[in-house]
Structures are given as structure tokens and as C-alpha cells.
Amino acid sequence: MSLPFDSVAILGAGLMGRLMAVTLARSGCKVDVFEAGSADAEGAAARVAAAMLAPLAESAVAPVSVVRMGQHALSRWPELLAPLVQPVFFQREGTLVLWHRQDAAEATRLARVLANTGAQVPELAPMKSVDARAIATLEPSLGQRFAQGLFLPGEGQLDNRALLASLLATLEASPRVTLHWQSPRAPSDFTGAAGQPDWVIDCRGLGARPQWNALRGVRGEVIRVHAPEVSLQRPTRLVHPRYPLYIAPKPGKLFVIGATEIESDDMSPASVRSTLELLSAAYAVHSGFAEARIVEIATQCRPTLPDNLPALRLPQPRVLQINGLYRHGFMIAPAMLDAALEVLTQGHSPLAKSFGMQTQDT
Ligand SMILES: Cc1cc2nc3c(=O)[nH]c(=O)nc-3n(C[C@H](O)[C@H](O)[C@H](O)COP(=O)(O)OP(=O)(O)OC[C@H]3O[C@@H](n4cnc5c(N)ncnc54)[C@H](O)[C@@H]3O)c2cc1C
């Protein structure tokens, strides 16, 4: 890709910032990354996320535009991961959705919503109803515990922390990239004068709130456990009356159990209630979680706009803001990246339009 500019400053080294930086540096651009925190991404939603890539499953809470972006990502992630200097766990073994008898009514409603999404987005692999025997074939360690479920073939997941680490190592290896840690910045710190970067790309997530007032945080609590006795091949979702619960397997017998969804930007530690709910749900899916070891209980807030949709915004010439990735950051990041590249190179994004994504020249 040839770029009509030479240099950029990227604000924020979470998910979008790192992805933009790697892509632009590979295209020959000089890149300066400014991050408020450290290389560990301790302030990024991306560090806490389960990183499931589940467009059909997420259509329970997301519109068709986000589903289309998620479908785009499933084929784009392998292309984006291939040139990175370290391997990143990525798989497309599908999603299994299960429920207990008392949640059958909610499961019926969910199945209707997913069927409706399938009709609107025919490129999605069709979901399948599965009985106890089919569930045991997909996930032998669950045995005959669940009478019914849904299987969503082709959905994916990746290892968020391995991705952040690999993007970082790739940036560190690039002679065109300078990384500035503990360096909070705002777009106004760059005046556009001679010697300044040609573009400022603002990927600060919730850190952009002072300039983008509509952003809000949506609190999520997740628990990481080490469970040598549990074997799950794919993310398993449990229908739950309050929020969709999931168990996402990661390499090394680690499992991410999440996530609460609370309308609050409170970043204080996880509540007892949330912790009990998440751990009970996991134990109800697989009794092997009883002897699991809790590695981490984490809280973060998802950067969210009023309509819960992502947006690209050009608040002033040569400043591009990418934000509002909400609970779908990993699932839609490749679509946001490709649309942002179109805006930077062509001044507008046909891809964003095809997804129904917001781009604003405000
Ligand atoms: C509990 C939870 C579970 C999730 N699960 C999933 C999932 O399964 N699948 C999925 O697709 N998505 C998931 N997400 C969503 C995903 O993590 C986010 O959408 C995504 O991380 C947003 O990316 P971002 O780059 O915009 O922001 P972030 O990843 O939050 O990065 C923003 C970065 O900007 C930095 N920053 C802030 N202010 C400044 C400043 N002034 N100057 C410089 N740097 C600054 C921050 O320190 C941070 O590093 C989950 C999120 C949470 C919280």
C-alpha cells in the first residue's frame, strides 16, 4: 500500500493503536506512538478482553453492521497476524451456546434473534441446534450435562495478550517506529507546524473522553483461571438472564470467564456478586473448575458511544479518531483498520459505508 503522507503520531497503544502503528510502519510511514501507560497495556481494555470473534453470537446484542464487520475480521485476522514477529494463538472452532432448563425461554428468544441475523447476513455459517449427544461429540468433557444447545460454526477467538505482545515486539523491531511510554497526549499537542507528524491518529479509547464527550465506559469484570482438569476446544457461552456469560479457553489450560456488563465507568475491583456469578456459571458448565486456580480477577471499562457503535471521526484536518469499539474491539478491529486506511489514503471509506459504519467530518 502506498501512502500519500510520510509520518503519523498515534495516541494510545492499546488494540487499535498498536494495529494501526504496525500497519502504517509496514507501509513505509514514520510512526511515533504515545501511550499514557507502559508497554504492558495495563490501562487498555484490550488487556482484559476475552478476544472472542463471534459475530453471530454477538448479534444477540449488536446490529447487523457490527456483525458484518465481525465477519470481515474472521478472514482478515490471519493476514494481519502472519507478518508479526511472534506467533499468536488464533482459531475458528466455532462457538457453543448452552443453557440450563430454567433459561429455556431466554434460549428460545436468542435462537430467534440469531436465525434472523442469519437471514440478513447470509455469508455467516448457519447455526445448528445440537442435542446432548452432539454436544458431547463437540466437547467430550461436558458429557451429557446439557440437553440442548446451539453450535455456531466458524466463529473464532485469539489470545489478546499474545497479540498485544506480538504487535509490541513487531513495533520494537521496526526502524521506522519510536515508542513513547508514560507519555499522555491529546490531538491539540500537535500543531501541524513544520517538523510535526502529517497525521494524528487518536486511538485512546476512554482516554479520548475530554475531547469526545459522548464516550462512556461500560464496566466489565472477568476472571482468569488455570484449570488443568478442564478441556474445552472452543468458547462456550451460557445463556443467562442478566448478561451473556462465556468461558473462553486460552493456551496453557487458561480460561477467561466473563464478562459482566454494567453501565458504569467504575474501575474499582470486581464485586463479590459478580465474582460469585461468574465462578458459579463456570462450575455449572464443568465441575473441573472446582479445583481451578484463580490467576486474576480484572475490571476494565469498554469505550462506548451512545449508540454502542464504533465510529471514525475527523474533528479537524489531519486528525483521525477511532473509537467506540465497545465490547467488540477484537471482533471489529480489522474492519476499523481497513476503513481508517481508506480514509487516510482516499479521504473517505467505501468499506465503512458498506458496513453501515459511522464516519463523521465534525
Ligand atoms: C471485560 C471486557 C471483555 C471484552 N471482551 C471482548 C471480546 O471477547 N471480544 C472483543 O472483540 N472485544 C472484547 N472487549 C472489547 C475490547 O477490549 C475493546 O473494544 C478494545 O480493547 C478497544 O480498543 P481501543 O484500542 O479503542 O482501546 P484500548 O484497548 O482501551 O486502548 C486505549 C489505550 O489508550 C491509552 N491512553 C488513554 N489515554 C491516553 C492519552 N491521553 N495519551 C496516550 N495514550 C492514552 C490507554 O492507556 C490504552 O492503552 C472486551 C472488553 C472488556 C473490558
Which CATH number goes with the domain that contains 170?
A: 3.50.50.60
Q: pLDDT tens digits, residue range 335-346?
A: 999 999 999 999
Domain identity same for 300 and 226? yes
- Give the pLDDT of residue 359: 72
- Give the pLDDT of residue 143: 80
pTM of the model: 0.96
Beta bridge partners of 311: 323, 358
Domain identity same for 247 and 329? no
Which of ligand 1's atoms lies nearest the C-alpha of 326? 19
Phi, psi of 319 (to 5 degrees): -125, 120
On the 0-12 / 13-18 / 19+ scale of CB atoms within 10 A, 6 is exposed
- Give the pLDDT of residue 360: 65
- Residues near ligand 1 (Cβ within 6 A): 11-17, 34-37, 41, 43-46, 48-52, 184-185, 203-205, 207, 220, 222, 258-259, 300, 302-303, 323, 325-331
Which of ligand 1's atoms lies nearest the C-alpha of 186? 41
Helices 15-26 and 160-172, interaxial angle, to 10°? 40
Answer whether residue 86 is part of any domain: no
Answer whether residue 314 is part of any domain: yes
H helix intervals, 207-328: 272-285
Structural domain harbouring 317: 7-48+160-213+308-360
Centre of ligand 1 from the C-alpha of residue 37, in Å: 13
Contacts of 141 (CB under 8 A, 6+ apart): 230, 231, 232, 286, 288
Centre of ligand 1 from the C-alpha of residue 17, in Å: 10
Which of ligand 1's atoms lies nearest the C-alpha of 329? 19
- Give the pLDDT of residue 362: 37
Domain identity same for 224 and 291? yes
Answer whether residue 166 is part of any domain: yes
Domain identity same for 152 and 222? yes
Centre of ligand 1 from the C-alpha of residue 48, in Å: 8
Contacts of 195 (CB under 8 A, 6+ apart): none
Domain identity same for 115 and 246? yes
Centre of ligand 1 from the C-alpha of residue 19, in Å: 12
Q: Indicate the residue among 304, 335, 352 that finishes a domain.
A: 304
Domain identity same for 272 and 183? no
Residues 160 and 46 sit within 8 Å (Cβ to Cβ): yes
Domain identity same for 242 and 147? yes
Q: pLDDT tens digits, residue range 235-275?
A: 999 998 777 789 999 999 999 999 999 999 999 999 999 99
Q: Indicate the residue among 287, 304, 321 that finishes a domain.
A: 304
Mutate to test the pocket of ligand 1, among 330, 331, 332, 337 (most ligand atoms within 8 A of CB): 330
* Residue nearest to ligand 1 atom 7, measured at CA: 51
* Residue nearest to ligand 1 atom 48, measured at CA: 44
Centre of ligand 1 from the C-alpha of residue 130, in Å: 34
Domain identity same for 252 and 291? yes
Which of ligand 1's atoms lies nearest the C-alpha of 185? 42
Domain identity same for 242 and 122? yes
Q: What CATH number is attached to the domain comprising 237?
A: 3.30.9.10
Centre of ligand 1 from the C-alpha of residue 15, in Å: 6
- Give the pLDDT of residue 282: 93
Domain identity same for 194 and 233? no
Total of domains in the chain:
2
Answer whether residue 234 is part of any domain: yes
Answer whether residue 23 is part of any domain: yes
Phi, psi of 80 (to 5 degrees): -75, -30
Domain identity same for 154 and 289? yes
Domain identity same for 241 and 331? no
Which of ligand 1's atoms lies nearest the C-alpha of 222? 1
Q: Which parts of the chain sit beneath pLDDT 50?
A: 362
Answer whether residue 352 is part of any domain: yes
Mutate to test the pocket of ligand 1, among 204, 211, 268, 326 (most ligand atoms within 8 A of CB): 204
Centre of ligand 1 from the C-alpha of residue 277, in Å: 24
Q: How far is CA 116 from CA 56, 58, 70, 103, 134, in A?
A: 10, 13, 17, 20, 23
- Give the pLDDT of residue 240: 80
* Residue nearest to ligand 1 atom 19, measured at CA: 329
Answer whether residue 83 is part of any domain: no
Q: Indicate the residue among 262, 277, 304 that finishes a domain.
A: 304
Centre of ligand 1 from the C-alpha of residue 299, in Å: 12
Which of ligand 1's atoms lies nearest the C-alpha of 208? 38
Answer whether residue 72 is part of any domain: no
Contacts of 276 (CB under 8 A, 6+ apart): none
